[in-house]
């Protein structure tokens, strides 16, 4: 078995690292952002991280799909249609690749972020077809079938 297929456990402390916001994106204040990468997929196409930030207002341009889950604090997010939404503990949002938002961190926010490079639709379709063929050939019941096991759509 390859070491890339082993389950990785870590109960160590999360040591946040500086993660400066692009200075050209700053609108107001001097927010300080940090992060810690919890995991990265073997293919480099996805990662999970903890991110926090102090008070300030800034643009954020998404070049990847990012799902966030707020752990503590709050942020007011404004989209390009000027719709605003406050996100606090327990709230989550999806920012698709190519989107833009203005973040207003009221005093502090800490989130977990699930980041994924979007796969082009033709490649995704080919992958789904290959998985269906493999399943028909007797390869079902793998961890890749997790959405079906947990009630999600395939």
Q: Which CATH superfamily is domain 3-116 in?
A: Jelly Rolls (2.60.120.10)
In terms of pTM, does the model score above 0.85?
no
Distance between CA 117 and CA 31 in Å, rounded? 26
Task: Answer yes or no: is pLDDT of 107 > 50.
Answer: yes
Residue (of 75, 70, 69, 63) closest to 99 by Cα position:
63
| Helix boundaries (H) for the chain | 121-134, 146-149
Distance between CA 105 and CA 58 in Å, rounded? 9
Q: Could you give the residue range(s) of every CATH 2.60.120.10 domain in the chain?
A: 3-116
The answer to whether 73 touches 109, Cβ cutoff 8 Å, is yes
Q: How confident is the model at residue 1 (pLDDT cuts 50, 70, 90)?
A: very low
pLDDT at position 63 is 94
């Amino acid at each position: 078995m390859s070491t890339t297929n082993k389950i990785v456990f870590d109960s160590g402390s999360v040591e946040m690292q500086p993660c400066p916001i692009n200075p050209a994106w700053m609108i107001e204040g001097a927010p300080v952002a940090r992060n810690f990468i919890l995991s990265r997929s073997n293919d480099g196409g996805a990662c999970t991280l903890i991110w926090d930030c102090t008070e300030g207002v800034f643009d954020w341009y998404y070049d990847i799909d990012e799902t966030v889950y707020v752990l503590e604090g709050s942020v007011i997010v404004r989209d390009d249609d000027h719709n605003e939404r406050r996100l606090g503990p327990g709230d989550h949002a999806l920012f698709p690749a190519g989107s833009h938002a203005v973040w207003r961190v009221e005093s502090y926010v800490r989130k977990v972020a699930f980041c994924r490079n979007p796969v082009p639709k033709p490649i995704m379709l080919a992958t789904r077809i290959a998985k269906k063929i493999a399943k028909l050939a007797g390869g079902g019941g793998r961890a890749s079938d997790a959405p079906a096991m947990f009630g999600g759509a395939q």
